[in-house]
A and B are shown apart, each in its own frame.
Chain A
Amino acid sequence: MNIEAVKSIYLFEMARTRRTLLQSVVSPVMSTSLYFIVFGAAIGARIQEIDGVSYGAFITPGLMMLTLLTQCIGNGSFGIYFPKFTGTIYEVLSSPISMVEIVLGYVGAAATKGLMIGTIILATASLFVDLSIAHPFVMLFFFVLTAITFSLFGFIIGIWAKDFEQLNLIPMLVVPPLVFLGGSFYSIDMLPPFWRAVSHFNPVLYLISGFRWSFFEISDVNPVASAAIILVFLTLCMSVLTWIFHTGYRLRN
């Protein structure tokens, strides 16, 4: 294992976060605070509790997931796309480093950033609403696994993307509807039966539901199903990456 190389890539990526602190950290915190002010304080005060949880608290796990998904996909894809775009990828490809180590460096950094921002949002949320976490280890399980899985997903997008349009396609057009319709701001019990059934095909519903269960012990779907979905998605991403490394798809062709 080339530990020095993994460390180099990881620290290099983390240094980018420091350089772009405003964009990387302050901006997601700012937008989440706005959500809390609008939905939590202004509108939330007029919305009744959901299963005994105040509306402001209810949306916290969903907002964390929204940010975590967006950030991890964004960081994971940009981290590998940018050297591809500038051409500096030649150096990574000609280094004595296996693809697994490349992933550890890039995806590790992307997941770390996502987790940092998620934590900051949790801290921000606790300023606005009363929060308690019923199952901290389950919460960490969903938090960390989602970060890793979606950073991997982002990494795949970064390898696949041929231009900035493709790079932004999934994070901008696919992720927001899945998150917003995945019960970030409501319980799917509030939906008419047809849309409730449709929602079950949205994988993000399972993530948000499981994550919310770890906070308040309330969920739209069985938390075990949530855990299974995230593990399936993680396996799927790893399989696709294994294929990519095996064939050199868009990297060594």
Chain B
Amino acid sequence: MARMKFLCDAERCIECNGCVTACKNENEVPWGVNRRRVVTINDGVIGAEKSMSVACMHCSDAPCMAVCPVDCFYRTEDGVVLHDKDLCIGCGYCFYACPFGAPQFPQAGAFGMRGKMDKCTFCAGGPEADRSESEFKKYGRNRLAEGKLPACAEMCSTKALLGGDGDVIADIYRERVTRRGKGAEVWGWGTAYGPGKPGAQPPAAGGKS
């Protein structure tokens, strides 16, 4: 198995925030903490509006891991980046290092005090006993230990958000783009899969999503 990854299809995302709601509900994330959020560009511009669901991308070379002064991050065998809240000191370095704004800090008390960092766990819990109450309270539900994938991806109504084994979801996305005949120009098709055969024509514009 390759590494666990998320992939969001900007051609399909309709900004319904179903993934955000699913994440909040599944992990009982406190008020003010958003492990996942939907980002929209060109909002309201007809034909140019694109939305995308963003959370921790579980980087292969995660900057949060590199900057953490107490080394509370670790990567599982499946490539999921997790952290130990018992070690976290809430310094916020990871927030500055992360290009996706994934680390979140709950208001732990008065005077704007920051609590321990909270972020998307790919529904894989943390370093507590799997499926235990202590794991749920600190990190949320451990769906991987239940043989399931993250709730956000499995709940996505348009299947814009794909989550799971990187190779498999790349295959799903590749098949999708090939069938609909467009979308390559939106999400780095050339970067991911190369320019194709020499002299190949770009996909026709205006195909069905």
Note whether A and B form a binding pair.
Answer: no
Residues of B near any A CB (own CB < 8 A)? none
Residues of A near any B CB (own CB < 8 A)? none
